[in-house]
Structure 1
Amino acid sequence: MFAGPNIVNKNFKEEEYEMARKILAVLALGLFLVPLAHADTAEIERIKRSIIKIYTTAAAPDYFNPWALLNAKQLNGSGAVIADNRILTNAHVVANGSYIQVQRHGDAKKYRARVDVISHEADLAVLSVDDESFFEGTRALRIGDLPELQQEVTVYGYPIGGKSLSITRGVLSRVEHQYYAHADSYLMAGQIDAAINPGNSGGPVISGGRIVGVVMQANTSQRAENLGYFVPPIVIRHVLEDAGDGSHDGFPELGAVTQNMESPSMRAIAGLEDDQEGALVVRVFEDSKAAGVLKLGDVILEVDGMEVAEDRTVEWRPNQRTNYHFAIDRHHVGDKIKVKVARDGEEQTLEVELGKPPLSRTLVLAEQYDELPQYYIYGGVVFVPLNMNLIKRWGSSWHSKAPVDFLHARSQWADADRKELVVALKVLPAAINLGYHDWKNWIVEQVNGKPVRDFLSFARMLEDNSEAFVRMEDDAGYMMVLEHEEASRQQPLILETYHIPARHSPGLFDSSAAAGKGRTPHTSAL
């Protein structure tokens, strides 16, 4: 009907002319899209070469038998090559890892890797490979900016069900603070509707050829389908910047506990004006940088220039809100920020230095990884500090199966006089502990009438005891009494009988442990 793209029969009817014009437009568009599609495919191929499969052999400590390890498990995860020949992945992919290997897309060979940086609270880790040839043919992927809501993103990884690389697409549906399952931390997270399965962990979320997230967990609720969460760029950059000086300080704390002020009555007694909103300070930790600056009853109106609403949220992007901790999380330990408060009906602008939070603010220590558990054996009784590692040994249903006293302690604040709880985990039956053979999971409050402050001071109280008997009590008055000299005499036989290598954990009485500077790693990722 026509001889070429620019020749049209003049006898065509008007509608035929219009149809011919549309056909020409489609042909022209097709000619334009062919090179674009080819370019898109080439970009995907370049990205695929930089997506890494990670193999981890992990042997976690057995907190029911703290001198031993659980059976080793083989875990798989994903990662991506970033600047300086490093691999970005999840912390939970390599946690407690004793042997780590990495493999490039399309290659059969595996290379030994080691952990250079790990942030359990952000669920991020950075790996390195000593053999530089591993990175030949790969391209470092840059960290990009978080896309807008409803924008499409692509997830790369190696989920279960096959050995090859999987690519799925979804849209960014939500961005706000979420609890990270790995360490129960509370940080910004992105939500997408792309399929995420075990093995995807650590894989990059890509938009515009750049990393805009690291896949970390899926919503396993029966009411949710294809809901996954990723670590966003602001958290990734914070971890990489924090580790730049060779030490990882983590995310800072303000040092105060706050409450919503959605109740009109609460706002009224706080003396707020009708146009004022904020968060009520209900506790200031004595050992925090905020002590002496913030006061009980203060209403936090602004944090670092961001207005705090009555539900404790801030507008971090137009029409997008998240918890006000966002204003703190973007800073580092030691930074100073401005905090505007309403105090006694007057507005004040204060300067608060952001501090490094302790392992836990409650009587239950936060879950730890890559470390040996602490324990102390006296008279055949195994004592341990109460922590989330122990509580989670009751399995996925620990919320209902762990001892009630343990769970209740999670909501009790620690202070200078009582920093952590000591548990008589179990009794290794022997003549010295006759009458207590069935005692287990018992919280010790006092030793010879003196209150227990923390695990180390408890162990020293027994170690340095000069009385004939050691009397331990709980808060209900129940007692366990052991003869001190006989306990010492029977100790070697008890350890030999139950094949226990030592009467206490390595380094328990070292000065470093006493200062709370850290604990002994039990594995190496070399």
Structure 2
Amino acid sequence: MGSGFVIPGRKIITNAHVVADHTFVLVRKHGSPTKYRAEVQAVGHECDLALLLVESQDFWEGMNFLELGDIPFLQQAVAVVGYPQGGDNISVTKGVVSRVEPTQYVHGATQLMAIQIDAAINPGNSAFQNLSGAENIGYIIPVPVIKHFLDGVEESGKYAGFCSLGLVCQPTENVQLRNHFKMLPEMTGVLVSKINPLSDAYKILKKDDIILTFDGVPIANDGTVPFRNRERITFDYLVSMKKPNETAVVKVLRDGKECEFSITLQPLQPLVPVHQFDKLPSYYIFAGLVFVPLTQPYLHEYGEDWYNTSPRRLCERALRELPKKAGEQLVVLSQVLMDDINAGYERLAELQVKKVNGVEIENLKHLCQIVETCSNESVRFDLDDERVIVLNYHLAKIASSKILKRHRIPSAKSNDLIDEQNSLEVGLAC
């Protein structure tokens, strides 16, 4: 349960975490016992927002929509309205704005602008998250983020995402660092450390470039830009508010010379997905070896302290490695369903699969294709840590069906791999 509000066009905005993995959504008006069926038009898990449609005319009778305002100023009073802890009566708590800055959105694990308030926030409130371990600190989603979400849905009919330059940047607050990169005393900016190969910036910018301005706005040595009255905010905010395929003009200092470049911005997916809402997990089972793509939710299965308890190499790659090409996945041998065919390989679980029969793996679908089209007597898997698995292909195929039956697993592969294989076969038949 959660609360939402009505906007023009007979639509309701609520949080993505309220409808995540939904099968059936019902809404009701404050003070009414009647529930109405709602359809989820769009979900933005990164910004924790969802848009609902309600067909019933009865629901909309006497309903007024909410007008979106501006970002409240520091110390401005705010009222938080909702149904905390799932109560049936509306609750209103009051507080003041204490901070406006980019914050990690817990639901989608994305850095976007948020407003910190000191009102008590509990599950079910219309504010979207609270700070565990701290009393009376909560966060609300600011109007620019809501408008960006709505504009994207209006233009494309679905959630469009938030743009990124695809850069990892370092502050240039150290004087010797600035001197080394030939920055004049009046110059300010940030140093480019890494560039995502899937971004437009990868073809234009270089490592060791200094980004001086973004769309004419000067970037300070600590990576911030001016925001309202004597406030500052990281320049990522300017990037995230751009629409997909929009361009930005970036002024760069390269080898002591100033250059200007036009860069097209896009939402960029990380190599290892940070969430897996509204979809079933992907898997492929061969001879009891269970292969899955690495995701952060997979690592979260190691418990609240997953950062320290999950396999160190997988964790580091999940948080730091960049994709080299579109569709790339890190494939992991997640577990071994024991059988004579795979005896002695059980300790190799949780290692990344690097190659199959000498071919580097691009993603789970690629691994599945190589295994299923194998014409050799044996199939070889090269894993992380230089470990090797070799199986007799004919015996492994026979063992696979027995293992699935023993564990009551209806299919050796997830639906997404079956659907892709079917579409591939239809294409070949045509």
Q: State the TM-score, normalizing by the size of structure 2.
A: 0.93
2-structure distance, mates of 1:306, 1:318: 15
Q: Is the 8 A contact 2:377 2:393 kept in 1?
A: yes
Residue 337 of structure 2 aligns with an amino acid whose one-letter code is L
| Residues 1:300 and 2:300 aligned together | no
| Residues 1:184 and 2:96 aligned together | no
Q: 1:344 Cα deviation (Å)?
A: 1.7
2-structure distance, mates of 1:346, 1:513: 54
Q: Is the 8 A contact 2:86 2:123 kept in 1?
A: no
Correspondence for 1:376 among 263, 270, 284:
284
- Give the number of aligned pairs: 422
2-structure distance, mates of 1:370, 1:127: 16
Match of 1:463 in 2: 372
Match of 2:427 in 1: none
Any gaps of 5 or more consecutive residues in structure 2? Answer: 425-430
Correspondence for 1:331 among 242, 265, 268:
242
Q: 1:257 Cα deviation (Å)?
A: 2.1
Rate the CA distance shift 1:355–1:476 in 2: closer, same or farther, 3 A.
Answer: same
| Residues 1:488 and 2:397 aligned together | yes
Q: State the identity as a percent.
A: 38
Bigger radius of gyration: 1
1:3-61 CA deviation, whole Å, 9 max, x = no partner?
xxxxxxxxxxxxxxxxxxxxxxxxxxxxxxxxxxxxxxxxxxxxxxxxxxxxxxxxxxx
1-structure distance, mates of 2:10, 2:385: 58
Q: State the TM-score, normalizing by the size of structure 1.
A: 0.77
| Residues 1:290 and 2:198 aligned together | no
Any gaps of 5 or more consecutive residues in structure 1? Answer: 1-75, 204-214, 516-526
1:480-508 CA deviation, whole Å, 9 max, x = no partner?
22111111122222222111121101131
Q: 1:440 Cα deviation (Å)?
A: 2.5
Correspondence for 1:419 among 320, 328, 340:
328
2-structure distance, mates of 1:415, 1:508: 22
Higher relative contact order (CA 8 A, sep 6+): 1
Deviates more, 1:471-480 or 1:187-196: 471-480
Residue 335 of structure 1 aligns with an amino acid whose one-letter code is E
1:107-506 matches, within 5 Å, as 107-160=32-85, 162-200=87-125, 203=126, 215-221=127-133, 224-245=134-155, 246-358=157-269, 360=270, 362=271, 364-410=272-318, 411-416=320-325, 419-437=328-346, 439-506=348-415
Q: Is the 8 A contact 1:152 1:171 kept in 2?
A: yes
1:167-191 CA deviation, whole Å, 9 max, x = no partner?
0111111101111101110111110
2-structure distance, mates of 1:145, 1:185: 22
Q: 1:514 Cα deviation (Å)?
A: 10
1-structure distance, mates of 2:422, 2:149: 25
Q: 1:453 Cα deviation (Å)?
A: 2.4
Q: 1:255 Cα deviation (Å)?
A: 2.6
Q: 1:511 Cα deviation (Å)?
A: 4.9
Residue 256 of structure 1 aligns with an amino acid whose one-letter code is L
Cα-Cα RMSD: 2.0
Q: Is the 8 A contact 1:507 1:513 kept in 2?
A: no
Q: 1:252 Cα deviation (Å)?
A: 1.3
Rate the CA distance shift 1:336–1:134 in 2: closer, same or farther, 3 A.
Answer: same
Question: SS where residue 429 of structure 1 aligns?
Answer: coil
Q: 1:108 Cα deviation (Å)?
A: 1.3
Rate the CA distance shift 1:253–1:463 in 2: closer, same or farther, 3 A.
Answer: same
Residue 197 of structure 1 aligns with an amino acid whose one-letter code is N
